[in-house]
Amino acid sequence: MTKKQKHTKVDGKTPSRPKKPNSDDLIMVGIGSSAGGLDALQHVLPNLQVKDDVAYVVVQHLSPTHRSLLTSLLEKHTPMPVQKITEGMRIEPGNLYVAPPDKDVVLSGNRLELHKPSSIGPSPSIDSFFTSLASEKGGQAVGIILSGSGSDGAHGIRAIKSDDGITLAQSPDSASFDSMPRAAINTGLVDLVAPPEEIGEELEIALQYPGKIASNKTIEPDDEIPVILGMLHQRTGVFSGAWWSTR
């Protein structure tokens, strides 16, 4: 899919309630995937910005008995330090954290806790992590759903969006398994849809939208243009994110 063919949806709704306060300025990006997710991650990671106010957490479904090589595989595709999550691990900006296959991950303050997964549903649970991410980070939470089977992550997308965070999904036609991104998109609460190699660029643009992440950002006249275009695209399908990607 070319950049011209890409379809990008932008949520132009005004938040219905104030953003939740946060203990620090760290933006946390949760990335959920399942079947076909490794290929998608290998295309997403090289284009993610390494920044001093952003940390990333990858939650991918794996069999509890499977010896995961995910951490070492992902290290090859990003300059960021990649760490397998251990109990109580402190989140540091500019790092990428990978969930172990046999535990659910929950964000508590600025630390990651490991919980015994439910006997029902996939493990680790994307919904569980995204829900805790929304609760702890509010408007500084970002949720990304990549290729996978099932609907894990859709509930978490709702939680993140209800607390004014940003939500993204891989375009279904670029996914090896499209049911997870489709389930997320079908909530009607996904801000941006893009193929994996363009998600990093789209995320960087989204983080610059006034009021989306940092409450201390001021609105400049030029900043209103992409927001207005996004609202028009959402309602008419006329405009594409490619327009303001080149601004």
Cβ neighbourhood burial of 65 (10 Å; 0-12, 13-18, 19+): exposed
Is the domain of 142 the same as that of 116? yes
| Residues labelled catalytic | 34, 61, 152
Residues 44-73 pLDDT 10s:
999 999 999 999 999 998 766 555 688 888
Residue 7 lies in a domain: no
The answer to whether 169 and 193 are in contact (CB under 8 A) is yes
Same domain, 190 and 243: no
Chain CA centroid to CA 103, Å? 20
With respect to residue 155, please indicate whether it lies within any of the assigned structural domains: yes
Mean pLDDT of 18-47: 83
Does any domain span residue 21?
Answer: no
Q: Is the pLDDT of residue 9 over 70?
A: no
How many Å separate Cα 208 from the centre of its chain?
15
> Looking at residues 227-242, what average pLDDT do you find?
48
Q: 135 lies in which domain range?
A: 27-216
Q: Please check whether residues 120 and 226 belong to one and the same domain.
A: no
Q: How many domains does the chain have?
A: 2
Give this prediction's pTM. Answer: 0.76
Bigger pLDDT: 120 vs 198: 198
Q: Is residue 13 part of a domain?
A: no
Q: Are residues 211 and 237 in the same domain?
A: no
Residues 169, 239: one domain?
no
Residue pointed to by tokens 């489709």: 182
